[in-house]
Amino acid sequence: MSSMIHDVLPTASVALMNYVLGELRCDEPAPLFGNSGLPGAVECLDHNVIIAMTPVTEPLFDQALLRCAATRRRDTLLIRHGFHPETIDPVRVDVALRSITGPLLLTDLSFFRDRDQGLHLVPARGGLSVKLGRHGVEIGTRLPWNCLWDRAAGLECAAAQIVRACRSENQI
């Protein structure tokens, strides 16, 4: 990947971008050019996915996310992580999913690692979830846990992985 995007993003953004790109198995993401209204972003062309990252934890980019998904016809993820991801600042993901009628916006999703090591984005309560994998972004109507213990374990597992990824990125 072009090192140019790495030069302008905080190390936590780079670590989280690599965490998601690794799950998607996207080897050659391209920096997103043009005025999308999103913070630093890359495109994974094989999966029709745009991934944007920001240390801004407030949900300020909803309209830009929807506009980008509609004009570029790609599922678009915005990772909001703060300056201390999952140690002080919770990591939240907003997703604009492509659809025939226009993008569908899901906000404030959390990373969740299931028992089979699949990576999901899940809501705090009931609703739609998103699975990230080698086939790209897939919407789920069933939540990927069976009980509250499973939910807690999956959220904790993903949070621990994020902390490790961010710490190792800072030590380079």
Share of the chain above pLDDT 90, in %: 48
Q: Which residue has the tokens 């030590």?
A: 171
> In the sheet where 41-44 sits, what is the strand order?
30-31, 41-44, 49-54, 75-80, 92-97, 104-113, 119-122, 129-133, 136-140
Q: Whole-angstrom Cα distance, residue 38 to residue 64?
A: 6
Top-ranked range on mean pLDDT: pick from 39-43, 106-110, 144-148: 106-110
pTM above threshold 0.85: yes
The mean predicted confidence, pLDDT, of the chain is 87
Whether residue 30 is predicted with pLDDT greater than 90 in this model: the reply is no
pLDDT in tens, 45-81: 889 999 999 998 888 899 999 999 998 899 999 999 9
How far apart CA 130 and CA 112 sit, in angstroms, is 10
Residue 65 and residue 56 in contact, taking contact as beta carbons nearer than 8 Å: no
| pLDDT above 70: residue 3 | no
Determine the pLDDT at residue 40: 83
User: Which is more confidently placed, 171 or 127?
Assistant: 127
End-to-end CA distance of the chain: 17
Q: What is the model's pLDDT at position 2?
A: 45
- pLDDT for residue 172: 44
pLDDT, position 1: 43
Amino acid symbol at 55: P
Q: How confident is the model at residue 154 (pLDDT cuts 50, 70, 90)?
A: very high
